[in-house]
A and B are shown apart, each in its own frame.
Chain A
Amino acid sequence: MTDTTYRVQMQDVYKDYGTNHVIKDVNLNVKNNEVVVLIGPSGAGKSTVLRMINGLETTTKGHILIDGADISQAHVDINHIREKIGMVFQHFNLFPHMTVLENVILAPVELKKADKAAATAEARQFLETVGLTEKADAMPASLSGGQQQRVAIARALAMHPDIMLFDEPTSALDPEMVGDVLQVMRKLAQQGMTMVIVTHEMGFAKEVADRVVFFDGGKILEQGTPTEIFDHPQEERTQAFLNKVLQA
């Protein structure tokens, strides 16, 4: 039953908030090294899907497996699962009372992945990856949005995740900041990181995605390669959505 070639398996997943059925029978599998981009109108349930993958939301029905382990099972340690899944939020969520470096080393040191010296050395490497070596001792509030988001990516990478989740990482940024963040994500994709990305950057999606999934009304309406979805969408709703975002 469990297939470890899949990093993420969502099996017949439902999510209700009271009487609001937000996710309805979603089946979504993500292979190792695969880059999956989720698109769809506001309220379609994209964020909810991402948040369910690392257990920030529970499922109402169905199963989610990470590397074959069902995260809703009591004996599965959700904290351990989360160490393998990095998440990047729309609003960065850096810890404002810590310097950039402290943000990055907090989890590795607290979870005893490395001693402080080793974690610090490694953190500087990740900051170099995102192009922010010189900001190591700055406080988050003194950084631009784009810089903050790149720190957030470095912070997630510091735990050496197998999977990275991105929830609209650029939609809170000024247009001139978007490029730097996308550049970092592009690099990760090239290095073979397994990624699930929610974004409205259709050009970027086309370029990096192995697969594009169109969500609407809590369901997967259509999925395929970027060419299939962007150039030959089958569903009327998909066409309508793409027309709207591409015009904007």
Chain B
Amino acid sequence: MHRKSYLTAFTTLFVALLFTLWPAPTAQAAEKTYTIGTDVTYAPFEFANEKNQYVGIDIDLMNAIAKVEGFKVNIKPVGFNAAVQALEAGQIDGVIAGMSITPERQQKFLMSDPYYKVGVVMAVKQGSKIKSLKQLKGQRVAVKTGTAAGAYALSVKDKYGFSTVTFDDSNNMYQDVTTGNSVACFEDSPVMQYAINTGMKLSIVTKPANPTGYGFATNKKNTALMAKFNAGLKKLKANGQYTKIVQKYLGTGSKKSQAAANKKNQETDRSFWGLLKANWGTLMGGLQETLLVTIVAIIFATIVGILIGLLGVLPNVFARGISTTFIYIFRGLPLLVLALFIYTGVPSLIGTKVPAFVAGIITLTLNEGAYTAAFVKGGIEAVDVGQMEAARSLGLPFGKALRKVILPQGIRIMVPSFVNQFIITLKDTSILSIIGILELTQTGKIIIARNMEGFKIWTMVAIIYVVIITLLTWFSKWVQKKVQAS
């Protein structure tokens, strides 16, 4: 009887709260809106400018094509891997992210006509003695996962006898070379050129190899969208708009014009304070999202954790089984795996999109909820068994005995664990950058993708985290004192 009422309460609450968060389906617009995924760190094809607006060749091209072909686009910078996975899972309609056209991708997706021709170049630290592939023997080389340049590096790895280390975004890969951990990296030519224009201390030492084209990708069945893209691209090339877009980001060819084009999207003051001032709004936006995700996740995780924890102490084998299994599974799964599973795995199973924010909240709710359940259960079990026996011997039913006698004592035991869990939740939100939630960590990545100022920006991000965690700790200590005094 108790199990039933707890279970019902649990499911009702969880489902109800989830649906309040789930965006309501928008009414069918006159023009069809397509959701297009893109990378966050692939300048000059896509990046946030100093006003935190998404710009770049891919973005401008996509918008221009949408305009001439009469449809609407909602461009989501979720990261390259996340975008490709979301496309596979049917979460989004297309991907434009400096994506090389390869036979493998053509098997999986529809790929458009090439809209930009690139080749793979090798770059080394400025002043490095390494000038050719042959000199890489026995050295370490940095590559980015899932890119054609990375694939090229792997294909010549054995021939030239170097080892590789992989990174998730370009900036980290460049940094590995400038710090000297790796001697070289491979990147598509325009991207490498952009980074160097922006001040990355690297030099390109090879001619573009393996020329390929960048293409726009859709699901195999989405021939309608693909046809529109190809048609639109032709029109833009014919009317000169295409050239304008490219020149806007890469100049007319000379280094000078490139640098000038680049400047338009960059901070002018490169000092720590200058960068902080220029990016303050963006960072605060990221912080706001982090706090929002944290607070919502804490609320859900606490509710779920308490309910699952309570199930674990009910005098019912079935209820305890549910509790133990929940704790075992979701405490055991790495947060990253859980996030990707829910965001990209579940939709391909159930056939509906899961918005990143909702996926992030579910991920944290399950993970932090499992930890919460474990200490709620432990806190209750830590109360002397004699307390329950005394309460029951007075005729109090189990539920009343639990509420009036056991929980008030258990909560005192649990308070420090709650505080600890809140802080962990705040930190764990940073992992959600993997599914493209624009929280503080992701914001940092985006800024760095544009300005290549990894050290300074990560310092700012770290300081913000420390300040917030300190405030949260103070607040929690204050709450803790209040609870323990009462």
Q: Which residues of A contact B390 (CB under 8 A)?
A: 87, 89, 93-95, 152
Q: Is the interface of A mostly helix, strand, loop or mixed?
A: mixed
User: CB distance B395 to A82 under 8 Å?
Assistant: yes
In angstroms, Cα B389 to Cα A56, docked, is 7
Per-residue 0/1 for A90-124: is the Cβ within 8 Å of any B Cβ (1 yes, 0 no)? 01011111000000001100110000000000000
User: CB distance B392 to A111 under 8 Å?
Assistant: no
9-residue interface stretch from B101-109, B276-284, B396-404, B448-456: B396-404
In angstroms, Cα B392 to Cα A51, docked, is 11
Per-residue 0/1 for A151-164: is the Cβ within 8 Å of any B Cβ (1 yes, 0 no)? 01001100100000
In angstroms, Cα B409 to Cα A156, docked, is 21
Per-residue 0/1 for A78-94: is the Cβ within 8 Å of any B Cβ (1 yes, 0 no)? 01101101110101011
The verdict on B460 contacting chain A, using a C-beta distance below 8 Å, is no
Known: A97-B408, A97-B409, A110-B404. A89 touches B396 (CB 8 A): no
Residues 379-402 of B contacting A (Cβ, < 8 Å): 384, 386-387, 389-397, 400
The chain B residue with its CB closest to the CB of A80 is B395
Q: Which residues of B contact A93 (CB under 8 A)?
A: 384, 386-387, 389-390
A165 to chain B, nearest CB (A): 8
Known: A97-B408, A97-B409, A106-B404. A156 touches B389 (CB 8 A): no
Q: Which residues of B contact A85 (CB under 8 A)?
A: 393
The verdict on A9 contacting chain B, using a C-beta distance below 8 Å, is no
User: CB distance A79 to B396 under 8 Å?
Assistant: yes
A148 to chain B, nearest CB (A): 12
In angstroms, Cα B395 to Cα A21, docked, is 28
Q: Which residues of A contact B394 (CB under 8 A)?
A: 82-83, 86, 106-107, 155-156, 159
A158 to chain B, nearest CB (A): 8
User: CB distance A82 to B392 under 8 Å?
Assistant: yes
Q: Which residues of A contact B400 (CB under 8 A)?
A: 110
Known: A97-B408, A97-B409, A110-B404. A89 touches B397 (CB 8 A): no
B460 to chain A, nearest CB (A): 46
Q: Which residues of A contact B405 (CB under 8 A)?
A: 95, 106
User: CB distance B396 to A56 under 8 Å?
Assistant: no
Known: A97-B408, A106-B404, A110-B400. A89 touches B389 (CB 8 A): yes
A181 to chain B, nearest CB (A): 17
The verdict on A54 contacting chain B, using a C-beta distance below 8 Å, is yes
User: Count of chain B residues with Cβ under 8 Å from any Cβ of A?
Assistant: 18
For chain A, the bracket of interface size reads 20 to 34
In angstroms, Cα B408 to Cα A107, docked, is 16
Q: Which residues of A contact B408 (CB under 8 A)?
A: 97
The chain A residue with its CB closest to the CB of B384 is A93
Residues 210-242 of A contacting B (Cβ, < 8 Å): none
A121 to chain B, nearest CB (A): 19
Known: A56-B392, A82-B395. A96 touches B386 (CB 8 A): no
In angstroms, Cα B401 to Cα A107, docked, is 9
Per-residue 0/1 for B404-419: is the Cβ within 8 Å of any A Cβ (1 yes, 0 no)? 1100110010000000
Partner of B396, one of A91, A94, A97, A107: A107
User: CB distance B392 to A96 under 8 Å?
Assistant: no
User: CB distance B393 to A111 under 8 Å?
Assistant: no
Known: A89-B389, A93-B387, A95-B387. A110 touches B396 (CB 8 A): yes
Q: Which residues of A contact B384 (CB under 8 A)?
A: 93
Q: Which residues of B contact A86 (CB under 8 A)?
A: 393-394
Partner of A96, one of B393, B397, B404, B409: B409
Residues 159-175 of A contacting B (Cβ, < 8 Å): 159
B223 to chain A, nearest CB (A): 65
User: CB distance B395 to A159 under 8 Å?
Assistant: yes
A214 to chain B, nearest CB (A): 25
The chain B residue with its CB closest to the CB of A102 is B404
In angstroms, Cα B391 to Cα A82, docked, is 10
Residues 34-82 of A contacting B (Cβ, < 8 Å): 54, 56, 79-80, 82
Q: Which residues of A contact B397 (CB under 8 A)?
A: 79
In angstroms, Cα B393 to Cα A86, docked, is 7
A206 to chain B, nearest CB (A): 28
Q: Which residues of B contact A79 (CB under 8 A)?
A: 392, 395-397
User: CB distance A107 to B409 under 8 Å?
Assistant: no
Q: Which residues of B contact A106 (CB under 8 A)?
A: 394, 396, 404-405
Q: Which residues of B contact A54 (CB under 8 A)?
A: 393
Q: Which residues of A contact B409 (CB under 8 A)?
A: 95-97
Q: Which residues of B contact A97 (CB under 8 A)?
A: 408-409, 412
In angstroms, Cα B412 to Cα A97, docked, is 10
Q: Which residues of A contact B391 (CB under 8 A)?
A: 95
In angstroms, Cα B394 to Cα A111, docked, is 10
The chain A residue with its CB closest to the CB of B389 is A56
- Other than the given A93-B389, A95-B405, A97-B412, 15 more pairs (CB < 8 A) read A79-B395, A80-B395, A82-B393, A83-B395, A89-B386, A89-B390, A91-B386, A93-B390, A95-B387, A95-B391, A96-B409, A107-B394, A107-B396, A110-B396, A111-B396
**Pairs across A and B, CB under 8 Å, 6 listed:** A80-B395, A82-B393, A87-B390, A106-B405, A107-B395, A110-B404
Which 8 residue pairs of A and B lie closest in terms of their CB atoms, listed nearest first? A83-B395, A93-B390, A107-B394, A87-B393, A93-B386, A82-B395, A97-B408, A79-B395
State the A residues within 8 Å of B (CB).
54, 56, 79-80, 82-83, 85-87, 89, 91, 93-97, 106-107, 110-111, 152, 155-156, 159
